[in-house]
Chain A
């Protein structure tokens, strides 16, 4: 897959939140405005790209040669957790004020099924090292798209008088569902026609 193809696939066509349905909890559940959304997305994108790279390293140099891919889950989960912890530690040491100001949550929040899921998808996709990194970044970009759209919708919903039984998370989930339908406009056929047409 070409680089542009990877970017478009993992950010739009196979959007990690709206198509693969990973990372719903931080997108739908997390409170906070657009700043927190940007911060969460940045942390998630960083963690995703490092995780996909680590996943590629593990897959290429450990799992395949030793024929132990049944250990993929523990290996990936623990490596992603380790990277998340490391990023957390680095952030606390270097830019604690920035974190407080910008409201960026610590990297611990970025560790969720989306990050591990992307690592697994990247490893199974047979990409090489730079492509794996790009997969992580593109997935992070897709996460950002979904999160920012949902945050804007959520901010709009907060001032409305919605049915009480649907207020809050249920309505956010329904909005995410409608968003997912809209994003079905970007499918694989669209991508292949886009590249073929030009």
Chain B
């Protein structure tokens, strides 16, 4: 596997929200505005990368002590590993909450309870991740790099999905695109004629779920089309279902 393959995997092929369909709650809930989606993605990347990194380092340290005492890694350590990642995740989430509150309190209010809930996001807790770090630690540096790549890829993939959904929802549902205010730019772009009579129903909860469903379907459709095209060329890419 090339070094960057771990990163790109999480972007599109294994995109957590659109393909693997985990971590859905914030994807439907905070995509009402683009800025909310952006900050939620930042938060998730922050917590995800740091949690996985801490986990890898901790695991490396445990493996070192185990190899020193010549005992084999026990499978019963798994629930405790989960608990470990939970502790890390909740602490990093609390830190992010404070950062948000300090620098962008409006955003903190707007995101509400979804910020603390990053700690229990399925992506962060890798509940359903296929890649369990069960192999014995051989090279700490390489493992750290790998976990950084994978978590970075997943996080950016999450961001891509969320921003895609929020662009649709906010443009059609509120007629605006809300971004960071920079200099003289107030931060809100009016989306032409739609802003005169936006379809507000899309900005509500149902709209989030609908957009999420269609995104997942579109991702699957793209996967199939791509698979069909590659199959036609005699490629070996397996179809994503």
Contact = CB atoms under 8 A, between A and B. Distances in A.
Chain B: interface secondary structure? helix
Given A116-B117, A120-B116, A174 B214 contact: yes
Contact of A170 (B89, B120, B121, B213): B213
B57 interface: no
A72 B209 contact: no
A25 B209 CA distance: 12
B97 A73 contact: yes
Interface stretch (A4-12, A74-82, A90-98, A127-135): A74-82
Chain A: interface secondary structure? helix
Contacts of B119: 73-74, 77, 116
Interface string B153-175: 00000000000000000000000
A173 interface: yes
Nearest to B212: A173
Interface string B190-215: 00000000000100111111101110
B90 interface: yes
6 contacts: A21-B208, A77-B86, A78-B87, A171-B213, A177-B205, A184-B206
Interface stretch (B20-28, B69-77, B140-148, B228-236): B20-28
Interface in B87-123: 87, 89-91, 93-94, 97-98, 113, 116-117, 119-122
A70 B209 contact: no
Contacts of B216: 169-170, 173
Contact of B28 (A21, A72, A78): A21
Interface in A162-198: 163-166, 169-174, 176-181, 184
Contacts of B5: none
A116 B120 contact: yes
A165 to B, nearest CB: 4
A23 B204 contact: no
B94 A74 contact: yes
Contacts of A172: 213
Contacts of A111: 120
Given A74-B91, A77-B86, A21 B209 contact: yes
B226 interface: no
Of the candidates A76, A164, A173, the one having the most CB atoms from chain B within 10 angstroms of its own CB is A173
Of the candidates A71, A74, A121, the one having the most CB atoms from chain B within 10 angstroms of its own CB is A74
Nearest to B93: A73
A139 interface: no
Interface of A: 18-25, 28-29, 70-74, 76-78, 81, 111-113, 116-117, 120-121, 124, 163-166, 169-174, 176-181, 184
Nearest to B209: A177
B142 to A, nearest CB: 31
A24 B28 contact: yes
Interface string B173-199: 000000000000000000000000000
Nearest to A180: B206
Given A116-B120, A165-B224, A180-B204, A20 B29 contact: yes
A173 to B, nearest CB: 3
B62 interface: no
A161 to B, nearest CB: 16
B58 interface: no
B221 interface: yes
A78 to B, nearest CB: 7
Contacts of A77: 86, 89-90, 116, 119-120
A159 B140 CA distance: 50
A179 B83 CA distance: 35
B136 interface: no
Contacts of B210: 173-174, 177-178
A73 B113 CA distance: 10
Contact of B213 (A22, A72, A113, A177): A177
B205 to A, nearest CB: 5
A113 to B, nearest CB: 5
